[in-house]
Amino acid sequence: MENIYDIIIIGAGPAGLSAGIYGARAKFKVLIIDKNETGGQISLTSEVVNYPGVGKTSGTQLTTTMRKQAGYFGTEFLTATVTEVDFNNDIKIIRTDKGEIRTLGVIIATGANPRTLGFKGEQEFKGRGVAYCATCDGEFFTGLDVFVVGAGFAAAEEAIFLTRYGEKVTIIAREPEFTCAKSIADKVLAHDKIEVRFNTEVLEVGGEVNLKYARFINNVTNEITEYQVEDSKSTFGIFVFAGYVPASGLVKNHVRLDEQGYILTDADLATNVPGVYAAGDICVKNLRQVVTAVSDGAVAATNLERYVENLRNEYGIVRKDDLPKNSLTKEEFSPTPDNSMERIGDDVDDSFLSSEIKEQLYQIFSKMEKGIKIITILDPSNRLSKEVEGFAKEIDGLTDKVKIEIYKKGENQVLEEEASLNLYPAMLICNESNEYLGAAFHGVPGGHEFNSFIIALYNAAGPGQSLDPALLDEIRNFDQKVNIKIAVSLSCTMCPEVVMGAQRIALENKNVTAQMLDLAHYPEIKERYSIMSVPCMIINDESLVFGKKSIEEILNKIRE
């Protein structure tokens, strides 16, 4: 029974992290599983000002701190996709793409996903004008008109955020008034760059490559109006913040749900299945905010502890009072600091890496099985090359497992031809024999992409993150030549999963190459493909795929 967890939490948003803190602090063996980085939907929020005791922060900063706190108390983390659950017995089984795990208790904290509205053109122009994350995509609409669809807190808050970029922001709300707190509503209504159109819905958006027009209907008068892009502007944006859909598909045949798909619980947040609890936005509740999610996590974990304690006694499982503090493991690394900006770390000087980050890197590098090289090709005429050179030099010397070689464009033609290099600067991951391994970074991999960079090194040097054997065979047997360019923004929380997935495929299969590029420094790429949203995969310089994708989904896309 040593390999059984006391509590497994599915979902690493505020509810799951709070549950992890409370469960681990009570000396239980706790594992949090999530297919993405920690954070949940709050990580898409640019500004959080209503969390008690925290004057102002971002969703990413708040949940990064929560994760560190959970880890401090001993919570373990696994980045994996849960494929199936079995709640039929006392010992619950959680099946993932990285193996099967057993537990005495489960907390479901899978949250909810942004709702699409279904208006004409929504799917066709997703990533080319239609967006769902202001933090990720707002900068692409600098100087352009922006429409925000929704009347709740998210719509109001993100409309204010988008005024940093958009020339004018118009809120389209089908309701007759805002449904959020009056304080934020008043702030929106008083903003000189925001127009609000109540009782209005989107009928259609359209254009050629990018959006050129939108049609709206007043649901009281039935008047139809149309917006057309001015000749001086290339396009405009539609940001949809129209609520969420519960992510309950995994458990719909295992616990009771309401008609909308939310999990039904009692006051203790217990489901109808003994030992299975739920917390956060996945539950039936009146208010879905980060503060109520955190509360749910604490309530669920505290009540589940009593159930688990009784089951441990019944099975004779001996509690270990001194659980080890959580450390970086091969399952997940999270060396990105709280500030998720281009500069990594919080030192006062101009260094990219803080002492705290270097300390974590020493742990990661010590696990590597073989040496690798980061061969950096610079274009002296490119300002970005100086930043990349500085970053590479800071990595150099941290470990003898990772060697840095720096060349100017044209000085290593053999490697440039091998990598089919046409974007500079470039950081190419190679083996000790200078052979390109298929993963490259164009730009400083800061912000959320720092994790992608370190994990790429770890996967290249081995042993690498674990993968389901069947999936690994599929990757290695893929026999088509494919290049994947992943356009990212360093502030995008959804981008790292795509970068890590594509580069993992490339590192396992010589037919595939995967390049991360910071779109902010490659405007010609943005314009050539009319990219208005990230993450965006450019496959063989032809087809585009927008949005967050798992390794399996990426593999399926490049097979098409």
Transcribe 275-291 into DSSP letters. Answer: TEEE-GGGB--S---HH
Confidence of residue 62 (pLDDT cuts 50, 70, 90): confident
Asked if residue 290 has pLDDT above 50, the reply is: yes
CA 240 vs. chain centroid, Å, equals: 18
pLDDT single digits (tens) 300-334: 999 999 999 999 888 888 755 543 343 333 334 45
The residues, ordered by sequence, that sit 6+ positions from 53 with a Cβ below 8 Å of its Cβ are none
Q: Give 288 or 368, the one with higher predicted confidence.
A: 368
Whether residue 278 is predicted with pLDDT greater than 90 in this model: the reply is yes
Contact 20, 9 (CB under 8 A): yes
Tell which residue, 544, 559, 465, 471, has the closest CA to residue 512: 559
H helices within 13-145, ranges in order? 14-25, 59-72, 134-137
CB-CB contact of 90 with 311 (8 Å): yes
Q: Does the structure show a pLDDT above 90 at 60?
A: no
Q: Where are the domains of the chain?
A: 5-113+244-315, 130-240, 355-559
Report the predicted TM-score, pTM, of the whole model to 2 decimal places: 0.74
Q: Which two tokens stand for residue 347?
A: 């030192």
Which residues, at least 6 apart from 348, have a Cβ–Cβ distance to it below 8 Å?
Answer: none
Residue 123 has pLDDT above 90, yes or no: yes
CA distance 149 to 45: 16
Question: pLDDT value at position 1?
Answer: 53
Residue 46, pLDDT score? 63
Domain 5-113+244-315 has CATH 3.50.50.60: yes
User: Following DSSP, what letter does each residue of 55-91 receive, concatenated?
Assistant: SSB-HHHHHHHHHHHHHHTT-EEEE--EEEEE-SSSS
What mean pLDDT is predicted for residues 254-277?
A: 96
Between the alpha carbon of residue 412 and those of residues 70, 172, 424, 506, 544, the distances in Å are 46, 54, 13, 22, 31
**What kind of architecture, by CATH, is found in domain 355-559?**
3-Layer(aba) Sandwich (3.40)
Least confident range from 110-119, 210-219, 259-268: namely 110-119
Predicted pLDDT of residue 45: 67
With a cut of 50, say whether residue 337 has pLDDT above it.
Answer: no
Nearest to 138, CA basis, from 448, 498, 519: 519
Give CA–CA dist 387/442, Å, rounded.
11
Say if domain 130-240 classifies as CATH 3.30.2040.10: no
Binned at pLDDT 50, 70 and 90, residue 392 comes out as very high
**Predicted pLDDT of residue 43:** 67
Model confidence at 59: pLDDT above 80:
no
Question: What distance in Å separates the CA atoms of residue 323 and residue 265, rounded to the nearest whole number?
Answer: 30
- Closest by Cα among 284, 277, 282 to 304: 277
Higher pLDDT, 112 or 215: 215
| CATH fold match for the domains 130-240 and 355-559 | no
